[in-house]
Amino acid sequence: MIKREAYMSRIRPFIGNELIKVLTGIRRSGKSVMLELIQDELVGQGVSPLQFVCINFENMNYAYLRTAEALHYEMTEKIAGIEGKAYLFFDEIQEVVGWERCVNSLRIEYDCDIYITGSNAKLLSGELATSLSGRYVEFVVYPFSFDEFIMLYYETSRDATAHEMFSAYLALGGMPYISNLRYEAAPSQMYLQELFNSIVLKDIIKRNNVRDVDLLERIINYMFASTGTVFSAASISKYFKNEGRAVAPETVLNYINYCVDAYLIYRVRRQDLQGKKLLTINEKYYVADHGIREAVFGGNMKDINLILENIVYMELLRRGYKVTVGKSGTKEIDFVCERKNEMLYVQAAYLLASDETVAREFGAYDGIRDNFPKYVVTLDEFDMSRRGIKHKNIKDFLLMPEWI
C-alpha cells in the first residue's frame, strides 16, 4: 500500500473538523485504501482506533443498515459507547437509501468526524449539494499516476528500465489492484474486464434502470474507439442510423451521462480562447483508465497518440487542474489548464517525426500571446524546445513535481 500523499496533502487540513469528507471516483480506484490511510493518519495524531466506526455497505454483513433509519439507530448506539470524538467511515454510501439524511443528522447531533465514499458523481454531488448545504468537501480519487504505478512496479521488477515500466503502464493502466497480480498481462486484463463489467452493471445499468443494454455497450465501444476525438451525441446517433439503427440523440446523451456519472468516462468541453467562452457542441471524452480500454476494446498501441493524450489528461486532473480543449482561430490546443491563479497549455503527440508534425504541434500556440507555460509532450527522447515552448518526453513530464 502506497501513501498517496498527493491526496493526503489535500485531505489533511480537513481532518477532525465538522465538514463531511467525500471521496468519489471510479469503482476500485483506491477510495477504501484512502480511508485506511486517513485512519493511519489519525492514529499517528494520537486518536484511538476504538473511536473509529468503519462500514463497507457492499459487504452483505451490513445489509441490514441500508436504510437511513437503520443506519442512524446503529450509529446512535455505537457513538454512545465511544469516549471522545467519533470517527465514522462509510464506504460506498450510495447503497444506503436516504443516506444523506442520516449523515446530516449525525453531523448535527454528535461530536463526530465523517468520511464517506461513493462511485457515482450525480448521487454524491447532487444530493449532497441540496441536503448538506455545502457542509462537505469532495476529493476525486483517480487510478494510479505513472509515478504511483512505478512505485509498486519496481517492487515486482527491480531491474525494469523506465522504458519497460512505461510500456507496462501503457498496456495495463493504473487500477491499483493489478499490482497484486504482479502486473502479469493475462490475469490483469481478465481483472480489468471483470471490473469493467461490474462498473457497467452496478454503476450504470442498475443505478439508471437501463433497458437497452446492447445500445449502451455500443455507445461505450464508440466512445472507447473515439477517445480524445471530437464528437457529439448527434454524430453518434447519425453513425447508428448509417448502421441501420435509429437512436435519438437525447437517448445517446443520456447513456453518455450515465457513463460520466460512473466516472468511467470524462467529458472535456471546448473553449474559444479568443471569445473567452465555452463551446456547447462537439466535446471530447477520455476514459478514466486506459488499461480498461485495452482490456475491453484493445488497440492501445495502434491508437498510441490518443492513449498518450488520455494519460496526460488524467494526470492534469490528478494535479487539480480544470481542463478544457482550446480553440484559437482554426487551430486547436489539446489542453488548456487552470488551477487557482495558475494556467498552462499542453499539446500531446506521439512523435515529432516530421517537419510538418513539428510545425503543427508547436504552431498550435501561434495565436496565444500570454506568458503562461506552454508544453509539447511526446515520446521523443531529444529536447526540441523552441520559441519559449517547452518540449518534454512524456515519462519526464508525468514525473515532474511541478509544471509551473
Tracing cell 475491453 back to the chain, one arrives at 296
Q: What is the pLDDT of residue 5?
A: 95
Residue 127 has pLDDT above 80, yes or no: no
Tracing cell 485512519 back to the chain, one arrives at 39
Q: What is the pLDDT of residue 356?
A: 96
Q: What is the pLDDT of residue 159?
A: 93
CA of 123: how far to CAs of 263, 328, 342, in Å?
A: 12, 36, 31
Confidence of residue 233 (pLDDT cuts 50, 70, 90): very high
Tracing cell 469532495 back to the chain, one arrives at 138
Determine the Cα angle at 267 with ends 342 and 250, to 5°: 145
SS3 for 216? Answer: helix
Contact 158, 12 (CB under 8 A): no
| Segment 49-58 mean pLDDT | 97
Q: What is the pLDDT of residue 125?
A: 65
How far is the C-alpha of 314 from the C-alpha of 318, rounded, in Å?
A: 6
How far is the C-alpha of 394 from the C-alpha of 400, rounded, in Å?
A: 10
Residue 364 has pLDDT above 90, yes or no: yes
Residue 279 has pLDDT above 80, yes or no: no
367-394: string of b/e by CB count within 10 Å (b at 16+)?
ebeeeeebbbbbbbeeeeeeeebbbbbb
Contact 136, 129 (CB under 8 A): no
Residue 275 has pLDDT above 70, yes or no: no
Confidence of residue 161 (pLDDT cuts 50, 70, 90): very high
pLDDT in tens, 61-105: 999 999 999 999 999 999 999 999 999 999 999 999 989 899 999
Partnered with residue 332 across adjacent β-strands are: 327
Partnered with residue 348 across adjacent β-strands are: 377
Q: What is the pLDDT of residue 277?
A: 67
Confidence of residue 276 (pLDDT cuts 50, 70, 90): low
Percent of the chain as helix, strand, coil, to the nearest 5: 50, 20, 30
Q: What is the pLDDT of residue 128?
A: 60
Nine-digit cell at 193?
A: 474486464
Q: What is the pLDDT of residue 293?
A: 98
Confidence of residue 328 (pLDDT cuts 50, 70, 90): confident
Q: What is the pLDDT of residue 129?
A: 61
Contact 300, 253 (CB under 8 A): no
How many other β-carbons are positioned within 10 Å of the β-carbon of residue 319? Answer: 14
Residue 117 has pLDDT above 80, yes or no: yes
| 284: nearest Cα among 223, 216, 235 | 223
